[in-house]
Amino acid sequence: MHQMTLAEIARGLADKKFSSEELTKTLLARIAQLDPQLNSFITLTEDLALEQAKAADARRADGETGALLGAPIGHKDLFCTLGVRTSCGSKMLDNFKAPYDATVVSKLAAAGAVSLGKTNMDEFAMGSANESSYYGAVKNPWNLEHVPGGSSGGSAAAVAARLLPAATGTDTGGSIRQPAALTNLTGLKPTYGRVSRWGMIAYASSLDQGGPLARTAEDCAILLQGMAGFDPQDSTSIDEPVPDFSASLNASLQGLRIGVPKEFFSEGLDPRIAELVHTSIKELEKLGAVIKPISLPNMQHAIPAYYVIAPAEASSNLSRFDGVRFGHRCEDPKDLTDLYKRSRAEGFGPEVQRRILVGAYALSAGYYDAYYLQAQKIRRLIKNDFMAAFNEVDIILGPTTPNPAWKIGAKNSDPVSAYLEDVYTITANLAGLPGLSMPAGFVDGLPVGVQLLAPYFQEGRLLNVAHQYQLNTDWHTRSPAGF
């Protein structure tokens, strides 16, 4: 049962082969048995899940249909869940029970999805290895000594290990696509503004975007359908019609122009990954796509620009955690300053503190022009590069990450080497574009992802290309030994 995709689950539930309650119980038992090896959940909500599953079964018995009605999922632990701990992977929010549901959570619940729990993540979504969580590192089911990627590493590990068919994630600089690549999943970061950020704890507000992690493009289409849409509660939500993402999956790729940027094959790329990317290009050519070499000349500035903008926004967003209104409060504060200082020093881990320091520095008088303003200018140049490229091509293709999953702890002493792993993913966030990672092979037994980028609001095109690729390859069907 646990091997089924969301699409198969939807068919099975519609044909009354099993109930949502049975499926939910099977997966909860599997989580209890296997998750101690992975640490992919922070909080399990068994009672709520069984309640939602029974309600979904009753709705189906009443004749209601819907691909998500009765489908088990998990939520990254930065989506607020009413009455359930929403920790953001931080000691700061270990005691925080959200007083409301995030829009993504309430929309998926209304569609009948069953939430089994809250998945582990890098603290405040800062990281690409899921090692900065207050609740401990998450293990990659493909090799338990390796990281699953981050920051949505708990969602990725749980789906890859078949503890869940799909889960929500968020992507500020790659946190859906990168863990998808490192665990053999399909993950989609939608266009900025496509999915509501209301109730999604903010890291860097101009970059953060929620999206689906699943095994197939077909399943990402189903989950995204339930998440996307205009939300008046989020001032950056965009009032654009949401197409039927499943309807375009079968469009032909004949004549599709795929741009391959030379900058995506930079020095730091593992040559074995480069080879797998070229193999996937050949596969898409066989399906009728036409390949065009392109250039994104400002890509080399993306990491420095991102690591100014993201920490700058984080330093401002995280100022609300002051020990006064919610979250961790230190014992016996002497005065208000002591309360702020100790609550924040005790509540935030080292990576979060580092980013707050960097961000506050970049925004301070005298440095603002030199760092923050420059970074914003580079951001515009990167967007312009994409706009020029999309005049020539329909889609851009390259590797998702320069390396496969590294060993837990291997990059701990050198944060910059971890920052460099985001080199291919962060440009889409800086430009606000949609991007997808799909399984494309293995290196040393560890999964490798290929990334597709599309113009604004063309998530359907990404899902279409990935689905056609998946109809003709079987990488996405491989499951890790032991799971």
Residue number, 231 or 421, with CB nearest to ligand GLN: 421
Residue number, 124 or 469, with CB nearest to ligand GLN: 124
Residue 130 binding ligand GLN, by CB under 6 A? no
* Stretch 285-324: interaction string toward ligand GLN, x if CB under 6 A: -------------------------x--------------
Token couple for 212: 């689906």
* Stretch 235-274: interaction string toward ligand GLN, x if CB under 6 A: ----------------------------------------
How many CB atoms lie under 10 A from the CB of residue 152?
36
163-202 residues in contact with ligand GLN (CB under 6 A) are: 171-175
Residue 151 binding ligand GLN, by CB under 6 A? yes
* Stretch 328-357: interaction string toward ligand GLN, x if CB under 6 A: ------------------------------
Judge whether 234 and 196 are in contact, CB under 8 Å.
yes
Residue number, 173 or 432, with CB nearest to ligand GLN: 173
Token couple for 475: 């990488």
Give the catalytic positions in this structure. 76, 151, 175
Q: What burial class does residue 384 get, using C-beta atoms within 10 Å of its C-beta: 0-12 exposed, 13-18 middle, 19+ buried?
A: middle
CB of 89 to ligand GLN, least distance (A): 11
CB of 363 to ligand GLN, least distance (A): 17
Whole-number Å distance between alpha carbons of 371 and 193: 26
CB of 251 to ligand GLN, least distance (A): 29
Map residue 242 onto helix, strand or coil. Answer: coil
Provide DSSP, 271-309. HHHHHHHHHHHHHHHHTT-EEEEE--GGGGGHHHHHHHH
* Stretch 76-95: interaction string toward ligand GLN, x if CB under 6 A: --------------------
Task: Give backbone dihedrals phi and psi of 169, rounded to 5 degrees, phi first.
Answer: -145, 180
CB of 356 to ligand GLN, least distance (A): 13
Number of residues binding to ligand GLN, judged by CB under 6 A: 13
Find the part of the chain contacting ligand GLN (CB under 6 A) among 63-71, 125-133, 287-295, 363-371.
Answer: 125-133
Find the part of the chain contacting ligand GLN (CB under 6 A) among 46-54, 106-114, 119-127, 273-281.
Answer: 119-127
Residue 128 binding ligand GLN, by CB under 6 A? yes
385-424 residues in contact with ligand GLN (CB under 6 A) are: 422
Whole-number Å distance between alpha carbons of 328 and 346: 8
Find the part of the chain contacting ligand GLN (CB under 6 A) among 39-47, 121-129, 209-217, 365-373.
Answer: 121-129
Provide DSSP, 301-321. GHHHHHHHHHHHHHHHHGGG-
CB of 298 to ligand GLN, least distance (A): 19
Provide DSSP, 156-216. HHHHHTTS-SEEEEE-SSSTTHHHHHHHT-EEEEPPTTSB--TTB--SSTTT--EEEEESS
Token couple for 255: 């004549």
Name the percent of the chain in helix, strand, coil, to the closest 5: 45, 15, 40
Residue number, 113 or 418, with CB nearest to ligand GLN: 418
Helix axes 46-61, 20-38, angle to 10 degrees: 150
Residue number, 174 or 480, with CB nearest to ligand GLN: 174
Residue number, 12 or 415, with CB nearest to ligand GLN: 415
Contacts for 58 with CB less than 8 Å, ≥ 6 apart:
none
Residue number, 102 or 126, with CB nearest to ligand GLN: 126
Count CA atoms within 13 Å of residue 88 on its CB side: 26
Token couple for 445: 């037994």
Location of structure tokens 């002497």: 334
Among 48, 125, 318, 452, binds ligand GLN (CB under 6 A): 125
What are the residues binding ligand GLN (CB under 6 A)? 125-128, 151, 171-175, 203, 310, 422
